Homo-oligomer: A and B are copies of this chain.
Amino acid sequence: MESQPVGPSLRQRNRAATRAALISAAIRLGNQRGWDATSVSDIAAAAGASRRTFNNYFASKEDAIVRLGALRLAEVREFLESAAGDEPLWSAIRTAFREVFSAAEALDDEQRRAVAELVRATPALQAAQIAADVAAEKELAAGIAARLEAGASGGLYPRLAAAVISRTVRVSYQYWLAKRLTTPFVDTLDHSLGQVALGLPPPAGS
């Protein structure tokens, strides 16, 4: 007669399980025999499901990989819109990213590296990832526009800022993974955003 924490139902647990099985099968096979040489049927079979089921979960092969590492720009938007309005824009942005990414980024590190390596080595996956980022970018633009709110929502600024920031996050993440840094990713990201907010001054001599 425990207090029943209203855990997910069996249906939902099964669903999550096959989903996870499909994803990790995709990662494993992709890294093992190359992405292009891995068919949907292979992945489904390795996960104990049918080809048709795979496409019930994911719109495409790439989708199964890219979903994991999706930029959570919608969360950043929420954070931006709910924060105090008198904070300077860039300060608010950096705070929002620091908040969102330090909370969510603590997922299974092993698989995350495998995904990154797979994406790095596969043009089709890079394309899918960037496309997803750009789609999410609209969220960030909306958050920035809402914060300026001086009728500038149709202007160039929010879109430009969102695009620049979104790419900054992705490139910084790739760098952080490639260099196998042990410091938290949030630090690298915050540094990059600071550089961008300074106008990307050239590092040393020139």
Contact = CB atoms under 8 A, between A and B. Distances in A.
A206 B147 CA distance: 8
A147 to B, nearest CB: 7
B199 A197 contact: yes
A97 to B, nearest CB: 15
A150 B202 CA distance: 11
A198 to B, nearest CB: 5
A162 to B, nearest CB: 9
B200 A197 contact: yes
Interface string A170-183: 11101100000000
Given A134-B126, A134-B127, A192-B156, A89 B163 contact: no
When all copies of this chain in the complex are counted, the total is 2
Contact of A204 (B134, B152, B197): B152
- Main secondary structure on A side of the interface with B: helix
A160 interface: yes
A193 to B, nearest CB: 10
A172 B160 CA distance: 7
B161 A200 contact: yes
A158 B123 CA distance: 20
Contacts of A88: 202, 206
A73 to B, nearest CB: 14
24 contacts: A88-B206, A89-B202, A123-B131, A126-B134, A130-B130, A148-B202, A148-B203, A148-B205, A150-B204, A155-B203, A157-B202, A157-B203, A159-B171, A159-B175, A160-B171, A160-B172, A160-B192, A163-B168, A164-B196, A196-B199, A196-B200, A197-B199, A197-B200, A199-B200
Interface of A: 85, 88-90, 123, 126-128, 130-131, 134-135, 147-148, 150, 152, 155-157, 159-161, 163-164, 166-168, 170-172, 174-175, 192, 195-200, 202-206
Given A127-B127, A148-B206, A198-B199, 6 more contacts: A127-B131, A131-B131, A152-B204, A159-B171, A160-B195, A163-B170
